[in-house]
Structure 1
Amino acid sequence: MRISACCFKFLAIIFWICPTAIAVAQSNDAQRHVIVISIDGFASYLVDDPKVPLPTIRRLAREGCVVEGGMTVSDPSVTWPNHTTLVTGMKPGRHGVLANGVLVRGGIGVPVKIDSHRDHSDLVRVPTVADVAHAAGLRTAEVNWPCTRNSKSFDDQFPDVPNALDYTTPRLRQELVKKKLLRDETHASFRNSSIVGLDYVWTEAACHLIRERKPHLMLIHLLNNDATHHKRGAQSQAGYTANAYADMCVSRIIDAIDDAGIREHSTIILVADHGFTVTPKAIRPNVLLREAGLLTVENGQLTQAQVHVVPEGGIGLVYCTNPLKASEQAAEFKKLLTGQEGVADVLLPDRFDEVGFPHPRDYRQVPDAVLVAKDGYAVSGTVTGETLVTTFEEARTSYGSHGFLAKLPKMKAMCILSGAGIRPGTQLQDVHNTAIAPTIATLLGLKYPDADGKPLLNALRTSADAE
């Protein structure tokens, strides 16, 4: 049985109106703190790479629990969908975030666009663990966390969204200016910084919030790793430098926890949203669609489309703009691309259960087919050029990529839990990132029963451990 998008919205409203159904009220003197640090693109294989200096991260692993072989992420293995999975415990097909923004279908002949300028309520169609924590009276904060713009569930926020400072909590914005972490309160001056500079500001903002507000739930997202890995590859000299800098940022956050006097009550969950692979080649499916007369290009730009592909790194979301012809055209697309160089698979809706997607008729953002590239090839959205396969430079894709199906081992993400409530020296295997939100809920004493994943109980201390 399929559940419509309207039903999902209705359930979310019921949960929101009745938070006691999913939250356990906390006493005013609650001492538990969970700090979630996401280092974007920190592949699991980097944790044990001897070329990477990671003293802080490896100490947390030794003192706590590490997921051996890495944590399996959700499809698509891109940033906003997986950060939302981390705080909902649900796969993107349920929580609704399938890209770094809302996928907007504009009607017959109109190409689908990704709109990143959206509020939390436009993006996420289920309650998050932050919603539950805030409803239970816990202090919450986020720094650069995706899909949080204008959320009502954070006491302080600095969201991952275009024009982030415009949506940052005013008091936090003013405090960061006073501490000279920001030149002023305008987003334009903030974005003049390098990506390393942005990570520095986000780290110091998180440290400030930990010291001053002592949030019970703190979400932090750092980006320099991802940017560097895209440009140079994860296991390049530049990539290793980015890894080391991320380790230093984690160290700064731990120092802030110590300064706040909450270390013995704090659990650190160190994760990533996806891994990385190198993609020196790219496939340009829209070139074939242009040659087949299925899309129109004017002055090098896509203007109209019966069928076109929106790239997501190692996969492409295939949209047929006429719903009456979608099934037929998706099948034709599969015939056109199957067997071509660089193409691993084409999934039609009858196989969407493999990636956790509902049928496109049940959720408009869902594509009509999914193009899967082989490892080493990225999917390009360009509509110019003469060949399907080309270099990453000509296709304007990245040398390092993610977005591949989560079953590709290189897409596995780092996952380490350390501190209060965690059994030291624990190693887990076969962990999916849907387990993180229910684990957060368990650590904070909250009920969160509707996640796809289950809490990582084998990593958590019990009363027997304390004896």
Structure 2
Amino acid sequence: MKKAYRRACYVVFVLSICLNNLTLVQSAEKQRHVVVVSIDGFAAYLVDDPKVPLPTIRKLASEGCLIEGGMTVSDPSVTWPNHTTLVTGMSPGRHGVLANGVLVRAGIGIPVTIDSHRDQSDLVRVPTIVDVAHAAGLTTAEVNWPCTRGSKSFDDQFPDVPNALDYTTPRLRTELIDLGLLSDETHASFRKASIVGLDYVWTEAACHLIRERKPNLMLVHLLNNDATHHSLGARTQAGYTANAYADMCLSRIISAIDDAGIREQTTLIVVADHGFTSTPQAIQPNVLLRQANLLTVERGKLTQAQVHVVPEGGIGLVYCTHPLNAPQLAADFKKMFIGQEGVADVLLPDRYEEVSLPHPRAYNQSPDAILVAKEGFAVSGSVTGETFVVSNKEAGTSIGSHGFLAKLPSMKAMCILSGAGIKSGLKLPTIKNTVIAPTVAKLLELDYPYADGKPLAEALNISVAN
């Protein structure tokens, strides 16, 4: 009887130790936090520009790790592809997002369109770091992060899609109304705000989630900076004001981390998706294609096309709508445009390794050729008019643009890592944005074997296994 009693006591003792260890493990997991803030279009060259007041960003850089000269982004250097690279560590050619939506090839003669009303499952072909974190039991949240609509891996989300409120987590939507940040649940009323007002709502939503939920992984995307650079230019008074406002939004997020009592356990990664350059001129490739009878325009609209160009800022994605004729049409396109004013290059699929894109036969969304503009020229999608090179106002393109090949220095993005697990006062040379996801995985002690990049070991004061 005594032996049975002692055995029972021993079992209870062992179980109590196991449960206590499990509690400690769970507690340790809850103490790890990573907040990734993307300030859209924040070019690396702005960090050291004395005309820009950036007290928060520069303090984070001095206390942590600054990537000097900036972070090399992925091709194409546009928003959705690069935000997806940030959370997958893969090039767009691998994760599948080549534009701000799905590029739809609808059939022979039908122009390709971009459909941004899509779920993550339609856009992203691979698991993201968020998917892995959530599956491991960590808490996750996002505010205005692209290519996340319909994801099951967020405890709270407020996605970057045209009708964002329709896909916002119901409890978060209700809380934002109670806080006075939203007037109601309709997306129409939300979009009446200015882009500055939207950034305010997104910032306060992020602050609320950090204070109330303390997510292990938080993604935040701010947009006013990009919008201002497009409309008025990056190195302008308006551009500098937008930079300063983004810095103030970032300071609010840091204050929320302090309020939540998790500052000592939080790593803050501040990045951008691309840089910016001035584009006072534009090239209009579809005008020349129309004149060559390769596309049809009715009432000022593109209705049919053998070949046409989808603009992506500093590049144009060239689509040939008849698969059998595509190789010849792409070769003819190159002959037509190479050497034209404002044209830097035309890439055919045999050179796609240079930009890490798949052959169109391997991936339906991939273009049949890529038209590359010279710096100073944007690619316009206009199909009307008679002139190939025009001013940006005549073409209806932005005075500031991105989308150029990522090797262009002005396309490099800001990147700063600071806080828990990061060495202090460190400056590192240029990195690729494929390192961010595996670095997040290392900070959160997650196994993420999918990325092209490796954890940024030089910046970490925690061990990084080979």
Q: The TM-score by the shorter chain falls in which range?
A: over 0.9
The 3 A distance-change label for structure 1 pair 280 and 209 is: same
> Is the CA contact 1:89–1:453 (under 8 Å) kept in the aligned structure 2?
yes
Q: Does 1:28 align with 2:26?
A: yes
| Structure 1: tracts of 5 or more residues without a match | 1-24
Which residue of the partner structure matches residue 370 of structure 1? Answer: 370
Q: Does 1:312 align with 2:308?
A: no
Which residue of the partner structure matches residue 254 of structure 2? Answer: 254
Which residue of the partner structure matches residue 76 of structure 1? Answer: 76
Quote how far apart the aligned CAs of 1:199 are.
0.1
Q: In structure 2, how many angstroms separate the alpha carbons of the residues matched to 1:462 and 1:155?
A: 28
Quote how far apart the aligned CAs of 1:427 are.
1.0
Which residue of the partner structure matches residue 151 of structure 2? Answer: 151
Which residue of the partner structure matches residue 230 of structure 1? Answer: 230
1:133-182 CA deviation, whole Å, 9 max, x = no partner? 00000000000000000100000000000110000000000000000000
Q: Does 1:298 align with 2:295?
A: no
| Structure 2: tracts of 5 or more residues without a match | 1-22
Given residue 254 of structure 1, which amino acid in structure 2 is its aligned partner? I
SS at match of 2:234: coil
> Is the CA contact 1:316–1:370 (under 8 Å) kept in the aligned structure 2?
yes
Equivalent runs, 1:189-200 vs 2, <5 Å: 189-200=189-200
SS at match of 1:304: strand
Q: In structure 1, how many angstroms separate the alpha carbons of the residues matched to 2:283 and 2:360?
A: 24
**What is the TM-score when the length of structure 1 is the normalising length?**
0.93
Quote how far apart the aligned CAs of 1:458 are.
0.4
Q: In structure 1, how many angstroms separate the alpha carbons of the residues matched to 2:400 and 2:385?
A: 22
Which residue of the partner structure matches residue 86 of structure 1? Answer: 86
Count residues in correspondence: 440
Q: In structure 2, how many angstroms separate the alpha carbons of the residues matched to 1:223 and 1:251?
A: 16
Which residue of the partner structure matches residue 130 of structure 1? Answer: 130
**What is the TM-score when the length of structure 2 is the normalising length?**
0.94
Quote how far apart the aligned CAs of 1:192 are.
0.2
> Is the CA contact 1:26–1:136 (under 8 Å) kept in the aligned structure 2?
no
> Is the CA contact 1:26–1:138 (under 8 Å) kept in the aligned structure 2?
no
The 3 A distance-change label for structure 1 pair 229 and 436 is: same
The 3 A distance-change label for structure 1 pair 68 and 26 is: farther
1:314-348 CA deviation, whole Å, 9 max, x = no partner? 00000000000000000000000000000000000
Equivalent runs, 1:340-379 vs 2, <5 Å: 340-379=340-379
Quote how far apart the aligned CAs of 1:26 are.
10
The 3 A distance-change label for structure 1 pair 238 and 300 is: same
- Report the RMSD for the aligned CA atoms in angstroms: 1.1
Which one has the largest radius of gyration?
2
1:419-442 CA deviation, whole Å, 9 max, x = no partner? 000000111113000000000000
Q: Does 1:56 align with 2:56?
A: yes
SS at match of 1:28: helix
Which residue of the partner structure matches residue 387 of structure 1? Answer: 387
SS at match of 1:328: helix
Which residue of the partner structure matches residue 239 of structure 1? Answer: 239
Which residue of the partner structure matches residue 15 of structure 2? Answer: none
1:99-119 CA deviation, whole Å, 9 max, x = no partner? 000000011000000000000
Q: In structure 1, how many angstroms separate the alpha carbons of the residues matched to 2:443 and 2:428?
A: 18
Given residue 349 of structure 1, which amino acid in structure 2 is its aligned partner? P
1:415-466 CA deviation, whole Å, 9 max, x = no partner? 00000000001111130000000000000000111211111010000379xx
1:382-425 CA deviation, whole Å, 9 max, x = no partner? 10010110000111100000000000000000000000000001
Which residue of the partner structure matches residue 407 of structure 2? Answer: 407
Given residue 305 of structure 2, which amino acid in structure 1 is its aligned partner? A
Given residue 236 of structure 2, which amino acid in structure 1 is its aligned partner? S
Identity of aligned residues (%): 78
Which residue of the partner structure matches residue 117 of structure 1? Answer: 117
Q: In structure 2, how many angstroms separate the alpha carbons of the residues matched to 1:394 and 1:152?
A: 44
SS at match of 2:405: coil
1:368-387 CA deviation, whole Å, 9 max, x = no partner? 00000000000000100101
SS at match of 1:390: strand
Given residue 381 of structure 1, which amino acid in structure 2 is its aligned partner? G
Which residue of the partner structure matches residue 14 of structure 1? Answer: none
SS at match of 1:182: coil
Q: In structure 2, how many angstroms separate the alpha carbons of the residues matched to 1:27 and 1:317?
A: 49
The 4+ residue runs of structure 1 with deviation greater than 6 A are: none
Q: In structure 2, how many angstroms separate the alpha carbons of the residues matched to 1:368 and 1:251?
A: 44
1:68-92 CA deviation, whole Å, 9 max, x = no partner? 0000000000000000000000000
Q: In structure 1, how many angstroms separate the alpha carbons of the residues matched to 2:414 and 2:161?
A: 24
Which residue of the partner structure matches residue 452 of structure 1? Answer: 452
Q: In structure 2, how many angstroms separate the alpha carbons of the residues matched to 1:412 and 1:26?
A: 42
Which residue of the partner structure matches residue 462 of structure 2? Answer: 462
SS at match of 2:219: strand
Which residue of the partner structure matches residue 218 of structure 1? Answer: 218
> Is the CA contact 1:26–1:137 (under 8 Å) kept in the aligned structure 2?
no
Given residue 246 of structure 1, which amino acid in structure 2 is its aligned partner? A
Q: In structure 2, how many angstroms separate the alpha carbons of the residues matched to 1:260 and 1:362?
A: 47
Given residue 434 of structure 1, which amino acid in structure 2 is its aligned partner? T
> Is the CA contact 1:269–1:416 (under 8 Å) kept in the aligned structure 2?
yes
Q: In structure 1, how many angstroms separate the alpha carbons of the residues matched to 2:25 and 2:117?
A: 37
Given residue 348 of structure 2, which amino acid in structure 1 is its aligned partner? L
> Is the CA contact 1:34–1:443 (under 8 Å) kept in the aligned structure 2?
yes
1:27-83 CA deviation, whole Å, 9 max, x = no partner? 421111000000000000000000000000000000000000000000000000000
